[in-house]
Chain A
Amino acid sequence: MNNDVAVSMQNITKAFGTKVVANDDVSLDVKKGEILALLGENGSGKTTLMNMLSGIYHPDSGKIFVNSQEAVIRSPKDAYDLGIGMIHQHFKLVDIFTATENIALGMKKDVSGSNKEIAKGIKDICDRYGFDVDPNQKVYNMSVSQKQTLEIVKTLYRGANILILDEPTAVLTPQETEKLFSVLINMKKDGKSIIIITHKLNEVLAISDRVSILRKGKYICTIDTKEATVMSLTEAMVGQKVELNIERNNVKNKEERLIIEHLTCLNKYGTKALDDVTFTAYGGEILGIAGISGSGQKELLESISGLHPAEEGSSVIYVKPETKEKTQLIGKTVKQIRDLGVAMSFVPEDRLGMGLVATMGMADNMMLKSYKDNRFMFTSRRDSRKLAEKKKEELEVVTPSIYTAVKKLSGGNVQKVLVGREISSDPNLFLAAYAVRGLDINTSYTIYNLLNERKENGCAVIYVGEDLDVLLALCDRIIVLCAGKLNGIVDARTATKEEIGMMMTHLNEEGEEDGNS
């Protein structure tokens, strides 16, 4: 075996349950002293693969070699012993501890030494690579970027030679990203191997030596970054167009239903999740929303439905189909919006944690939005029971009874219950987030048919999706979000996957200038 290979993963397969194969026969080499970018769409298995390297998962089959020796990594501790450290997207730090205490945590006493020694060790590492860490600062006083730096220092302090960073730039500002990259280059010069998980093409081109691409759990190829272009990477990432047999009728009786202007909202860190988004959704069409996860899709749907506050100047106007009466939705609660007679349905991404009551059966879940309709102080169980029985039959929901807690149903059946309820109120504005995620082909088609049925009824459907093939086959127009900004609207009948893939990963120049001014 080649001596300058730090880690070699060979024929790794990992499945969750019987249906989901996260990694299918993936092989990957990381050389000493290089930065390898691991590129792929959401759900392509990047993080799962790396979790097997860092001891969080164990592969079903396949071998891992570290420094040319076969290694079995059963826990993060084993990984550390082999010199592998991973910096996760969600930091694993204790808020009320200082930087030093966090580094000492979990280390054996004879290794960790006194706090002074650790502080000195931290300083050495910082000087060597150009980090900026105050050993006595408490974690809760740190910014996101400082926390990430601390995570990296912690990993280095524990002697890691192979560092895995899971989407490290997702939480950083451009300046912070630059700083991180310069540190990574210093570490590379020092002979460390770095794997960086990302789906931002410009970053791949900026920092990596080689790039390996995964698609739907399969290994596609590894390219020398010097020879790669945005175009070639996009093609490898999204793959050939797959023809899906989803029926799509032409848009009839197109009429304005939802007029969104300058919609801006903040995430919990106070940065802009959505930045000045303007578009109109029409009745009788399916409008797709494409974008890398976390580009503002969730905030978009939640601010339309009254769950997420919007900044001043935002406007979301609903046009009632019968009277053409216009209603401003911003600043109203879910209940106020419903009381105004806005026939909106919303299938959220988190089915059991938001769309349904996990511990209740189908029957009780059916009245989640209508339990108040009954007169007096009691709920009407008869109506919800009838509706549950009807939906169970119509959508072929597999459940022992309509009283079985929905969390015990399979993912597809859970989604049928949720979509079934949302459609039963006969909406004329239908929002759906990742409606077919994790569902098998048949159930997915059931959902597509239901959405098409809505479209035929003159309903405006907004469909947030992640599978570009589905978006292109199902939708009439597609909006592409990139980093919270609207990066373009395309006609789904003529657009190509590459075109959308580029727009997802590359903010167009105009937009970038807007952002900086």
Chain B
Amino acid sequence: MATVEYNKKEAFVRASLRDSIPRYKALLIRLCAVVISLIICAFLIYSITKINPLKVYQAMFEGAFGSVRRSWITVRDTMMLLCIAVGLAPAFKMKFWNTGAEGQILVGGITTAACMIYLKSLPTWLLFICMIVSSCVAGALWGLLPAFFKAKWNTNEILFTLMMNYVAIQLTSFFVALWENPYGSNTVGVINQTGHEGWLGYMFGDNMLFGQEYSLNVIIVMTLTVLMFVYLKYSKHGYEIAVIGDSQNTARYSGISVNKVIIRTMLISGAVCGLSGFLAVSGASHTISTSTAGGRGFTAIIVAWLAKFNTFTMIAISVLIVFLEKGAVEIASQYNLNDYVSSMITGIILFFILGSEFFIRYKLIFRKRNKEVQ
């Protein structure tokens, strides 16, 4: 017969759900996380390289904001990441896990590049309309397919959208081969290098808006950010998305056509991600390759989650992540460190920020010392 001891001792520490937390406190916890992660990184850097960590951090800052040019590159990449995250926001708020941003960016990029190559003789305004519309439509279609299957047969959207990425990558390879320039280089090369047709920065000729190549990127993405915020928070569509995200049963009970909203929302999500493809090709690299998306479709998932789908918070998170990326590359080259060191630093900082969410949601209760029992 098995006899079982009854353990009366309380656990040393247990976590309990917080009811609510004042905003400043939550901010403080996050700030602490960043500071602690920087300290730990400093120890790591010193133990491996014996370089003064403060200098390393200074190099990081220089990498991102060291010159006007560098600052604008940082801004450009931030906008790109933000745009994708804004695209993911409606789908994620609906608990539709769109992991297919990579693919949606690529197809948007392909159509943009196609317009730049084949339609460069069109008037500028018409060319841009073609590029923007086609990239949105391509991204939307890439989002529509998994949404349709989800609505109709309840397929798993995570796998479906993920697999659509690989289709998009293959498609991109095909077009890269088709548009190869110069012959044998296995790349498309910079499209329209001489005439700058279809380059977003040169939309108004050589007089760039505010004298900066990327000011239009900023305007487009910031507008989208505001619009998406309003759409999600105040529109009827946004309300429907929030209800479905909470409970599909409640949505059905209230008379919302769940399938319709899923498809509509994924069209929007895909279209914005497709537009990011337009920004990447027309507004940044002026070329197309399989690395045009460059994993940003996945990084944007982190951005969207950390921001809890609030598009304004996404701005800050995007800045942080791009800053880390740029800084890490800089220290890798400046101190001859391996690329992995920079990834490690980024990883540690993100780990702490994500980990701090636990302390925002839960409070720790330590076992009280109880002398009578002992």
Which residues of A are interface residues toward B (Cβ below 8 A)?
A: 66-67, 69, 71-74, 78, 81-82, 305, 307, 333-335, 338, 346, 348, 350, 352-360, 364, 367-369, 371-372, 374, 377-379, 381, 400, 404, 408
Of chain A, the residue at the smallest CB distance from B253 is A354
CB of A378 within 8 A of CB of B246, answer no
Question: Which A residues are in CB contact (< 8 Å) with B6?
Answer: 72, 74
Q: Which one of B237, B253, B256 has the greatest number of beta carbons of chain A within 10 Å?
A: B253
| Known contacts A72-B4, A78-B2, A355-B253, then 9 further A-B pairs from the complex at CB < 8 Å, ordered by chain A residue | A72-B6, A74-B4, A307-B253, A357-B247, A367-B239, A378-B236, A379-B235, A381-B234, A404-B20
CB of B253 within 8 A of CB of A360, answer no
Return the CB mask of B1-45 against A: 1 if under 8 Å, else 0: 111111000000000000110000000000000000000000000
Q: Which one of B1, B5, B19 has the greatest number of beta carbons of chain A within 10 Å?
A: B1
Which residues of chain B from 208 to 255 have any CB-CB distance to chain A below 8 Å in the complex? Answer: 234-237, 239-240, 242-243, 246-247, 249-250, 252-255
CB of A377 within 8 A of CB of B237, answer yes
Question: Which B residues are in CB contact (< 8 Å) with A334?
Answer: 252-255
Can you report 21 residue pairs joining A to B where beta carbons are below 8 Å apart? A69-B3, A71-B3, A74-B4, A334-B252, A334-B254, A334-B255, A335-B257, A350-B249, A353-B247, A354-B249, A354-B253, A356-B250, A357-B242, A357-B247, A369-B254, A371-B239, A377-B235, A378-B234, A378-B236, A379-B239, A408-B19
Assembly CA distance A372 to B243 (angstroms): 13
Q: Which of B19, B246, B249 contacts A360 (CB 8 A)?
A: B246
Assembly CA distance A334 to B240 (angstroms): 15
B6 to chain A, nearest CB (A): 5
Assembly CA distance A369 to B255 (angstroms): 7
CB of B234 within 8 A of CB of A379, answer yes
A388 to chain B, nearest CB (A): 15
CB of B242 within 8 A of CB of A307, answer no
CB of A357 within 8 A of CB of B253, answer no
Question: Which A residues are in CB contact (< 8 Å) with B19?
Answer: 408
Question: Which A residues are in CB contact (< 8 Å) with B1?
Answer: 66-67, 69, 71, 82
CB of B236 within 8 A of CB of A357, answer no
B28 to chain A, nearest CB (A): 22
Q: Which one of B20, B236, B239, B255 has the greatest number of beta carbons of chain A within 10 Å?
A: B255
Question: Which B residues are in CB contact (< 8 Å) with A381?
Answer: 234
CB of A307 within 8 A of CB of B236, answer no
Q: Which one of B243, B250, B257 has the greatest number of beta carbons of chain A within 10 Å?
A: B250
Of chain B, the residue at the smallest CB distance from A352 is B247
Of chain A, the residue at the smallest CB distance from B237 is A377
Q: Which one of B5, B247, B256 has the greatest number of beta carbons of chain A within 10 Å?
A: B247
A513 to chain B, nearest CB (A): 37
CB of B247 within 8 A of CB of A360, answer no
Of chain B, the residue at the smallest CB distance from A305 is B253
Given contacts A354-B247, A379-B236, contact A348 B253 (CB under 8 A): yes
Assembly CA distance A307 to B247 (angstroms): 15
